[in-house]
């Protein structure tokens, strides 16, 4: 393995381990010493790759979290099918993964948005960029669905996107407690009922 590939592999391992640590303990409850211990690294080795704990976290957001949100909540919506069906399946699949995660502490993006709000403008900017990309994708998907006749023409796509995002954040937080499967089932049942209320109705003559 050449030096460039070896460095990339090291960075990947450090960031994956770091994200798990920040997710379980929180950013402000995780010290540099905690990171070094978990990674089995010296301070010199850590600072060779990263300028600070903040720089370490920002790179995790850019390289891991953005990719995770894209693969979980954005990529599944690509296509020309009924967007309500795509979104329903996307949420269902994402929550099913969470159910089987023994170290589930809720939606990772939402957790960090709450933790950094009003505390770190730099990190909030990077997190909000992910939120914005997700929101724009949802709105675009819904608008395309309305144009293709899947949604009622009076539907406010921006409002629906906001509702869906906040609902997802909320149920993922609740699922970190007891009975995640039951919470997921109830949420998905109500989501599908809501989708029925905004889908295009057959034209009656």
The three-class DSSP label of residue 199 is strand
pLDDT at 204: 64
d(CA 135, CA 164): 9
Tell me if 108 sits within 8 A of 65, measured CB to CB: yes
- Return phi, psi of residue 110, to 5°: -65, -40
pTM, rounded to two decimals: 0.91
pLDDT digits 0-9 by tens, 128-184: 999 999 999 999 999 999 999 999 999 999 999 999 999 999 999 999 988 999 999
| Confidence grade of residue 105 (pLDDT, cut at 50, 70, 90) | confident
Q: Please, which contacts does 17-23 make with residues 24 or more away whose CB atoms are closer than 8 Å?
A: 18/56, 18/57, 18/60, 19/60, 19/64, 19/65, 19/108, 20/103, 22/57, 22/60, 22/112, 23/103, 23/105, 23/108, 23/111
The per-residue pLDDT for range 28-48, each reduced to its tens digit, is: 999 999 999 998 889 998 998
Residue 1 has pLDDT above 70, yes or no: no
Q: What is the pLDDT of residue 6?
A: 77
Q: What is the CA radius of gyration of the chain?
A: 20
Q: Which distant-in-sequence residues (6+ apart) come within 8 Å of 171 by Cβ?
A: 95, 183, 184, 187
On whether the CB atoms of residues 57 and 123 are closer than 8 A, the answer is yes
Give the domains, in start order, of the chain with CATH numbers.
Answer: 51-198 (1.10.357.10)
């Amino acid at each position: 393995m050449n030096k460039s590939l070896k460095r990339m592999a090291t960075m990947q391992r450090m960031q994956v381990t770091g994200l798990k640590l920040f997710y379980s303990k929180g950013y402000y409850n995780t010290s540099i010493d905690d990171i070094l211990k978990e990674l089995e690294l010296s301070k010199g080795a850590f600072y060779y790759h990263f300028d600070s704990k903040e720089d370490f976290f920002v790179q995790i957001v850019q390289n891991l979290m953005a990719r995770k949100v894209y693969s979980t909540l954005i990529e599944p919506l690509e296509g020309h099918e009924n967007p309500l069906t795509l979104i329903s399946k996307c949420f269902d699949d994402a929550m099913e993964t969470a159910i089987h995660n023994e170290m589930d502490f809720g939606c990772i993006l939402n957790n960090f948005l709450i933790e950094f709000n009003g505390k770190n403008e730099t990190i909030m900017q990077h997190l909000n960029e992910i939120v914005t990309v997700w929101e724009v994708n949802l709105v675009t998907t819904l608008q395309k669905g309305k144009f293709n006749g899947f949604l009622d023409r009076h539907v406010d796509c921006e409002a629906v996107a906001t509702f869906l995002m906040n609902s997802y954040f909320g149920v993922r937080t609740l699922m970190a407690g007891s009975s995640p499967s039951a919470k997921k089932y109830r949420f998905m049942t109500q989501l599908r009922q809501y989708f029925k209320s905004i889908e295009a109705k057959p034209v009656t003559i």
